[in-house]
């Protein structure tokens, strides 16, 4: 394990999301957004499976399977029920 006291941010990407990574005519490295080593809009984000699981737990569901939920989650709009959130 790396001691958290020795972790440092060395590269923050301040390009505007979602213009970066989508506008590859301006930024040719848009394809690297998912795997790049700089910090950007991915920091603190959840996968769709993680978000669906969290929504279900918060609404009292405990018997569910999100193992086949995949993709990218680029935004989130709140609703008032588990159904509208998902």
Most confident range, picked from 3-12, 47-56, 61-70 = 61-70
Which residue would you say has higher pLDDT here, 66 or 75?
66
Residue 78 burial by Cβ neighbours in a 10 Å radius (0-12, 13-18, 19+): exposed
At 47 the pLDDT is: 82
Does residue 42 or residue 74 have the better pLDDT? Answer: 74
Token pair, residue 13, equals 């990407």
How confident is the model at residue 44, as a pLDDT? 59
Same domain, 4 and 26: yes
* pTM score: 0.46
Q: Are residues 26 and 7 part of one domain?
A: yes
Q: Which domain holds residue 8?
A: 1-43
Q: Do residues 73 and 57 share a domain? A: yes
């Amino acid at each position: 394990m790396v001691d958290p006291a020795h972790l440092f941010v060395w590269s923050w990407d301040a390009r505007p999301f979602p213009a970066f990574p989508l506008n590859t005519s301006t930024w040719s490295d848009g394809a690297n957004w998912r795997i790049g080593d700089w910090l950007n809009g991915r920091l603190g984000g959840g996968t769709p499976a993680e978000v669906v699981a969290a929504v279900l737990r918060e609404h009292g569901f405990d018997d569910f399977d999100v193992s086949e939920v995949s993709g990218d989650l680029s935004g989130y709009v709140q609703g008032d029920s588990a159904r509208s959130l998902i």
